[in-house]
Structure 1
Amino acid sequence: MLKSSLLLAALLLPFCAANADEYKTDDLIVSNPWSQELPPNAPTVAAYFVIHNKGKYPDRLLSVDTPVAAKAELHEHVMQGDLMKMQRVPSVAVPAGGDLTFAPMAYHVMLLDLKDRSLLRDGQHFPLTLNFEKAGPVNVEVLVQKQPPMAGHEHMHAQ
C-alpha cells in the first residue's frame, strides 16, 4: 500500500508542477494567466493574470512578448464621457506589497497580428513573457478557456 501511494505521488508530482498557475520571481508572483478562446476570424485576443508584489518596493511592467502574435501591447479600459474606451499604456506600476489584476474591462495584454491561431483554442497553452523593470523577464504559460475563470478578480486593479 505504501509503495503504491509513493508511486502515485511520484507520478502526480510532474503533472502538478506542469499545471502550476503561479510563476514566481524574487518578490513577484504572477498567477492565473488565461485568455478566452479565440472567436473565428477575430483579429486580436487579450491575456489576463494577477501580479502579486510581495516586496517592499514597487516594480513596473514594461512590456510583454509572445510567439503567437507579432505584437503584444499593454492596454487599459477608461471611461471617456459616456463611452468605455480601450487605450495602450507604455507601462503599468505594480505597487509594493500589493496586487495588480489584468482582467476584462481593466488592464489587459492585447495580442495583435496573430501568428499561431492553433494555440488559441480551448485547453491550449501559449507562452507569454512579462518584462519588469526590476524583476526582469517572467515567463508564464497562458491557459486558453472557452469561458472566463470564476469571477472574483475581474474588476479589481491598481492605478
Structure 2
Amino acid sequence: MSRFAIELLAALSLTLGAVLASAPSVKASDVLVSSAVARASISSLAKSGVAYLTIVNQGAAADRLLSVSTLVAASAALHGTRMDGDIMRMEEAGIVELPPGGTIEMVPGGLHVMLMGLKAPLLEGEIIDLTLTFERAGDVLVRVPVGPSLAGGNDYAKGSSGG
C-alpha cells in the first residue's frame, strides 16, 4: 500500500470518528445497523458521495444485503476498494453475504455505499436517508448524519467517482 493511501485512510478514520460515535442504531428483524455516516461534499459541483456503516446479523440465519437506495442521488450502490499495486481501484460489490453472527463493516478504503448523481451537495450536519434492502430482513431505513468532508484529499474526495 502506498504512503498516500495509508495517510488517506488514517485521515478518514480520524475525521469520521466523532461522527461515528454519535450515529444512531437501527434494528430490523435480526439486523442491527450502526455507525452510519456520510461524508460532506467538498464542492458544490460534486456528483458523487460516500456513506459508511456497520451491519451486524444478530440472528441464527444468514441474510444478504441486496441493494441500497436513496432519494439524494440518482443511484446508490455497494462498492469495494482494493489496491492494485500502488493504485486504489473501486468496483461494484454486488450482493453482500451476512452470515449468522457476522458483521459487515463499511470503512474508508474498503466496502462502502457509493452515491452517484447527487441531486445536491451533501452538507455537514444534514441527515440523509438510505434504504438497505436485505433478502430476509427486508427494507431497513437508516438515517445517516453527514459528517465532515476530506478537504484537500484525493480525487475520490473531490467527487470524481469514488469513496
Q: What residue is the counterpart of 1:10 in the other structure? A: none
Q: What residue is the counterpart of 1:11 in the other structure? A: none
Q: Among residues 97, 105, 109, which one is paired with 2:109 in the alignment? A: 105
Matched pairs, number: 128
Q: What residue is the counterpart of 2:27 in the other structure? A: 24
Q: What residue is the counterpart of 1:56 in the other structure? A: 60
Question: What per-residue deviation string (whole Å, max 9, x for no partner) do you get for residues 37-70 of structure 1?
Answer: 1110222111110001101122111111100001
Q: Of the two structures, which has the highest relative contact order with CA contacts closer than 8 Å and spacing of 6 or more?
A: 2
What's the % identity of the aligned pairs?
A: 41
Question: Larger C-alpha radius of gyration, 1 or 2?
Answer: 1
Question: What per-residue deviation string (whole Å, max 9, x for no partner) do you get for residues 77-128 of structure 1?
Answer: 12234422110121111121021101111100100011133xx111110110
Equivalent residue letter for 1:51? I
1:135 and 2:141 are equivalent in the alignment = no
Q: Give the aligned CA root-mean-square deviation in angstroms.
A: 1.6
Within 2, Cα distance between the matches of 1:81 and 1:96? 34
Q: Which runs of 5+ in 1 are unaligned?
A: 1-18, 149-159
Q: What residue is the counterpart of 2:92 in the other structure? A: 88
Q: What residue is the counterpart of 1:44 in the other structure? A: 48
Q: Which runs of 5+ in 2 are unaligned?
A: 1-21, 151-163
Equivalent residue letter for 1:23? V
TM-score (norm 1): 0.75
Q: Among residues 140, 145, 148, which one is paired with 2:147 in the alignment? A: 145
Q: Is the 8 A contact 2:67 2:77 kept in 1?
A: yes
Q: Is the 8 A contact 2:46 2:118 kept in 1?
A: no
